[in-house]
């Protein structure tokens, strides 16, 4: 399966640099954001510096200060955008598919397939968000807000067609969301050899995780 370029955050930022509607200043800022994300993929926050960003973006350090007060502001801006893109990517790509079926298992599988694709392409940046929640506490509330939006949408769907009350459905949505994230972290970030040995395609992985997901939400797999 060929990767979807829109699933890769760096590719999204690169495309913005080429936006013909951007002013020179907007293009410079977009280049700085791309450089920041590229460095964060391979460098921890402690080693990250604005000098590295300046070299990568081919701009002067004073130019960066026109947009950011310090490295913390720069990283927060880029990772905040990253968290927004996570939600937008999965929601946008799954929406058309969900409109074609009322089957809960199919809908969940389609959404999980999109999320797996995004996670695989951006595993290092997902991990940076996780690592930096102590250094940059604002990331905690931003991530929690993304998780809340997603859990509320999921809860509304499973409480509508399943046996769970709205509160039970919301609890289930949060718990299953954590399950998916932990599993994908083991696979794509920590590279657990026991999970890798399963040798599952993204489609098979989405189907397997979604089966567990729907059983937990509904008690049984709904008829197909």
Q: Is residue 223 part of a domain?
A: no
The CATH number of the domain where 182 resides is what?
A: 1.10.357.10
Q: What is the mean pLDDT of the chain?
A: 88
Q: Work out the pLDDT band at 191, boundaries 50, 70, 90.
A: very high
Domain with 14 in it: 5-218
Separation CA 149–CA 130 (nearest Å): 19
Question: For residue 120, which of 90, 153, 94 has the smallest C-alpha distance?
Answer: 90
pLDDT tens figures, 88-125: 887 775 565 555 667 888 888 888 888 899 999 999 99
Question: For residue 60, which of 70, 50, 68 has the smallest C-alpha distance?
Answer: 50
Q: Looking at the chain, which runs of residues are DSSP E strands?
A: none
pLDDT tens figures, 119-143: 999 999 999 999 999 999 999 999 9
Q: For tokens 């690169």, what's the residue?
A: 14
Q: For tokens 């079926």, what's the residue?
A: 101
Q: How many CA atoms lie within 13 A of 204 on its CB side?
A: 7
Residue 82 tokens read as 């990253």
Q: For tokens 């990772």, what's the residue?
A: 79
Question: What end-to-end distance do the CA atoms of the chain give, in Å?
Answer: 26
Mean pLDDT of 201-211: 93
- Evaluate whether 161 touches 79 at the Cβ level (below 8 Å): no
Helix or strand run (H / E) with residue 199: none
Separation CA 89–CA 103 (nearest Å): 21
Q: What is the pTM of this model?
A: 0.88
Can you give the pLDDT at residue 122?
Answer: 96
Give me the phi and psi of 18, to 5 degrees please: -85, 0
In total, the chain counts a number of residues equal to 224
Q: Is residue 211 part of a domain?
A: yes
Separation CA 210–CA 195 (nearest Å): 16
Can you give the pLDDT at residue 97?
Answer: 58
Q: Is the pLDDT of residue 224 over 60?
A: no
Separation CA 39–CA 23 (nearest Å): 24
Q: How many CA atoms lie within 13 A of 89 on its CB side?
A: 24
Structural domains of the chain, count: 1
Can you give the pLDDT at residue 3?
Answer: 58
Give me the phi and psi of 98, to 5 degrees please: -65, -30
Q: For tokens 């640099």, what's the residue?
A: 17
- Evaluate whether 152 touches 174 at the Cβ level (below 8 Å): no
Range in 50-54, 156-160, 174-178 with the lowest mean pLDDT: 156-160
Question: For residue 126, which of 111, 147, 108, 110 has the smallest C-alpha distance?
Answer: 147
Can you give the pLDDT at residue 164?
Answer: 80
């Amino acid at each position: 399966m060929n990767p979807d370029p829109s699933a890769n955050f760096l590719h999204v930022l690169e495309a913005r640099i080429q936006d013909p509607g951007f002013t020179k200043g907007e293009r410079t800022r977009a280049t700085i954001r791309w450089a920041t994300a590229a460095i964060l993929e391979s460098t921890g926050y402690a080693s990250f510096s604005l000098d590295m960003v300046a070299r990568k973006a081919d701009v002067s350090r004073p130019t960066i200060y026109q947009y950011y007060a310090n490295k913390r502001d720069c990283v927060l801006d880029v990772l905040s955008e990253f968290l927004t893109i996570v939600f937008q990517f999965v929601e946008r790509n799954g929406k058309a598919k969900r409109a074609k079926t009322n089957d809960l298992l199919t809908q969940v599988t389609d959404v999980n397939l999109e999320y797996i694709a995004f996670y695989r392409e951006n595993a290092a940046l997902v991990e940076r968000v996780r690592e930096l929640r102590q250094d940059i506490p604002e990331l905690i509330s931003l991530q929690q807000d993304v998780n809340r939006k997603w859990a509320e949408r999921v809860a509304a769907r499973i409480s509508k067609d399943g046996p769970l009350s709205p509160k039970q459905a919301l609890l289930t949505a949060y718990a299953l969301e954590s399950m998916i994230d932990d599993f994908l972290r083991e696979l794509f970030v920590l590279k657990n050899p026991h999970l890798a040995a399963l040798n599952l395609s993204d489609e098979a992985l989405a189907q397997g995780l979604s089966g567990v997901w729907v059983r937990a939400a509904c008690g049984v797999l709904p008829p197909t």
